[in-house]
Every structure is written in structure tokens, then in C-alpha cells.
Chain A
């Protein structure tokens, strides 16, 4: 059985539909995750007592439990909250958002804590109002430091979206499994899908690395 590249071209419509869903999942997870991460970070940095514990437990649990378990759990536990089973896409998107949110909370927090204390102390000593202390001094520096880990998380979320195939979301891995199951061309299809993921993820990784080097040079 030789390598049949034509099989990929013949099933391009299925694969591109899968790719669209993969990207949609990633975008939804990143958008909702950014909001969750924002609140998670606020809760861990500024929250006290109960609020701090809620944020900490959320971050620890979502970072400590495998994404697959979370995905299955949310898929099965829909009735617990909504009284109805979630669609597989909704379950996957929810699980991925929770996952991204927990990681982003830590990325945001690390970025803010990485701004040298002297910066905020100087801002306070100059009598800047608290709003400008944050918006003009701390956040611009923190945001710059968050860029490489944020891009790293984007690649992680794209990689994790493949797990959604396990609960039946028709994304890229799912489509490849279905097509290769019908044609028995596993090698061709998974090679193609692998290359496709690589073409999306590798440029992102490179950008993150470049930017990290820029930051390292600047801080020297």
C-alpha cells in the first residue's frame, strides 16, 4: 500500500470543515478563557479570604486535572446544572475555556508580579492616582511580559482541541479518524493532519521564542 496523496485532496472538504471547527473551538476557548483568566487573576491577587480561595481552587483544579477528564465530566454533568445534556461542542468549548482560563489566570498573575516593585513604588511616590499607577505604569510592562506565555497557551489550546474528538466534536482529528476509518488510509490522513497542525502551531511558537529573546535583551 503506497502513499496515496490523492486521498487527502479528495477529502479536502471534510478536512477543511474539521479545521474550521478546530479553530472555532480554539477562538471561543481563548476569548472566554481570557475573561475567566482576568477574574481568576484578580481573585488570586486582590481577593481575600473566601474570594481568594475560590480563585485558587479554580486555578489548581483546572490545571491539575487532565483536560480529557474535564471534557468528559462536563459532557456527562450537563444535567447537573442545566437539566439537559450539553451538546458535544458546548461541552468541549466549556472545558477548554475553563482550562485556558486557569492557565491564563496564572500567566496574568505572573506577568503582574514580574514588574519590579520599584516601578509601582516609584509611581506611588510620585503621587500618581491609583488608576494611572496601574494603567500607565504596571500593566504596560506586565502585558509585554505576558506575550510569550500567552502565545504558548494559544498553541496549547490548539493542541488540546484535538481531544474534543473523543466526545464527538467533528473537528480535525475527528474528521481524519472518520475518513481514514472508511478508506483505511490512516497514515496519509494523520500525516496530513499533523502537518496542518504544525503549519499553524510552529509559526506561533517561533513568534513566542523571538519575542522572548527580545524581552531578555531588553531587560539586560
Chain B
């Protein structure tokens, strides 16, 4: 019989047993089932040359996606840290407003926020932002709310002894925050920040709806123009996946590189 705990399930260098056989049979059945369902004549009629023809706008779109995501995350990180610090202070009603801000952005869909900013606000304020400005604003505000929460958790995870030691040494409040608490909190924040970065990278595809000019905008434009949505969407999906995996790797590497040796 196979072991109980899943961790014990992957011993190397053993004989092919009933579990391997069951896996192989099920796997082949799945692959066969999917292959039988696909209309191969249709697949052969697809023309992926169009992706190669449009590689330049696609690349530009991908770079814009990276830029928009990075900008939103960097500004959001700064805002988030400020909000998290403010939340630690006894501010009375202002604290409640900040909490409301954070929870509102965290608990509504990005698409609603985007449309609210792009279509709703101009009616009230009289200022019409460009699609890029609206997109950046929506992403930044949402990331600031998520990052405020991440920063709050990071600050709280800094051991109490660090605060007490800082105070006992007579450090002024500014250096207590900047030199003792925040550097440690930032390190703790890396894994949740990386997760957020990945979800924003994918979330930014939504900006295609208001034609911000990032990868999804480019993709819908090309597929409308060439009438080859399947080829374009497949390629763009693959491109997003690659971006996602690369950013994920980088984040993992950063996490390892900044780990405090024990």
C-alpha cells in the first residue's frame, strides 16, 4: 500500500508499482479524452504567423504591462507603508477613515474601481484623465490598500524586543522607525509583496477594457484587426504566463537573498 502522508509519496529509485500504473492509466485516459474532444482540423487551420507579424506591438504591450504594474506597486508600497504607520498612531476618527479607505479598495472588484475612476470621477470633478492615468490610478490605489495591510502585518511581526531595545538605547522615534523597525518589516513583507505583484501583473490585463495600451489592449486590437482572436489570445496567454513565472522566480530569489542567516 502507498504511504499515508503525501510527503512520503515521492520516494525516488523504487520499482514501478500499482500506484504508478494507476497514475499512468488515468493520465493517458485524460490526455486521450481531451485529444478526442478537440477538433484537430480546426486546430490545423490556425495560423500562428500572425503572432510573429505583430511581435513588435506585442512586445511593446508586454513592456507597458510591466511598467504599469511596477509603477503601481512602487507608489502603492510607499503609500501603504505611510498608511500602516499612521494606523499605529492614536489618531481617533482619522484612523477610521484610513481603515475605511483600505477596506473599500480591498473589498470591491478592480473592474468597478477602474470604471468608477475612468467614467464616474470625470463627471464629478470635470477633469478627464487619459486611459493610462485612470489605469495607473486605479491600480495604485488598490495596491496601496493591499500593501497597507501587508505593511501593518509586517510591522506587527517585528519582535517587541526590537522596539524596547531601540527605546532603551534612546533612539529618536524617526530612527527607531527608519533604522530598526522598517528594515525588518520590509524583509518580512517580501513574500506577501511578491504574491501581490503576481496578482497585479495578471490583474493589469483588465486595463485592456479601457484601452490603456498594455498587452491586453494590444491583443484585442490585433485580434479585432486580423480576425485571428484564437492565435493572438493563445500567444498572449503564453506571454503572460512567462512573465508571471519569471517574476515569480525573481521574487523567490529575492526572498532567499534577503533571508537573515540564523
A: residues with CB less than 8 A from B are 1, 45-54, 60-61, 64-70, 72-73, 76-77, 79-81, 83, 109, 112-113, 117, 120-121, 123-124, 130, 133-134, 138, 155, 158-163, 165-166, 173, 176-177, 180, 184-191, 193-194, 197-198, 201-202, 205
Q: Which of B35-43, B157-165, B168-176 lies at the interface?
A: B35-43
User: Count the A-B residue pairs with Cβ separation under 8 angstroms: how many?
Assistant: 180
- Find out whether the CB atom of A162 lies under 8 angstroms from the CB atom of B241: no
A73 x B237 contact (CB < 8 A)? yes
Residues of A within 8 A of B85 (CB): none
Interface of A is mostly: helix
Q: Are A46 and B109 in contact (CB under 8 A)?
A: no
Per the bound structure, the CA–CA distance linking A70 and B70 in Å amounts to 23
Q: Are A46 and B6 in contact (CB under 8 A)?
A: yes
Chain B: interface secondary structure? Answer: helix
Tell me how far the C-beta of A34 lies from the nearest C-beta in chain B, rounded to whole angstroms. 19
- Extra A-B contacts (12), CB below 8 Å, given A65-B241, A66-B203: A51-B26, A65-B237, A68-B208, A76-B229, A76-B230, A120-B4, A121-B5, A186-B115, A186-B116, A186-B120, A191-B120, A205-B106
Contact B205 A66 (CB under 8 A): yes
Q: Is the CB of B27 within 8 A of A159?
A: no
A67 to B220, CA, bound (A): 15
One of B16-24, B74-82, B186-194, B253-261 at the interface: B16-24
A193 touches B112 (CB 8 A): yes
16 contacting pairs across A/B (C-beta < 8 A):
A50-B23, A50-B31, A51-B23, A51-B27, A51-B30, A54-B27, A60-B241, A66-B237, A124-B4, A161-B109, A176-B115, A190-B115, A190-B116, A191-B120, A193-B112, A194-B112
